[in-house]
Amino acid sequence: MTHLGYLITGWGITLGVLGVYAWRLVRRGRHLSVRVPDAHRRWLDDQGPDGA
């Protein structure tokens, strides 16, 4: 396969950045969820928050 280094770098950076960003969101969400009562987390009932 030609250009393998470019492909691994491009795909690796993309999946790596998306993975780290997703992991940070989950971690931040866990940290904040402990501090906020369930009433503010309507997704626990599988209904999205819709304060509009």
Residues that bind other proteins (CB under 8 A): 1-4, 6-7, 9-11, 13-15, 17-18, 21-22, 25-26, 28-30, 32-36, 38, 40-41, 43-44, 46, 48-52
* CB of 8 vs other proteins, minimal distance in Å: 10
CA distance 31 to 41: 13
* CB of 27 vs other proteins, minimal distance in Å: 10
Phi then psi dihedrals of residue 23, to 5 deg: -65, -40
Q: State how far the alpha carbon of 37 is from the alpha carbons of 3, 19, 25, 32, in Å.
A: 52, 28, 19, 10
* CB of 50 vs other proteins, minimal distance in Å: 7
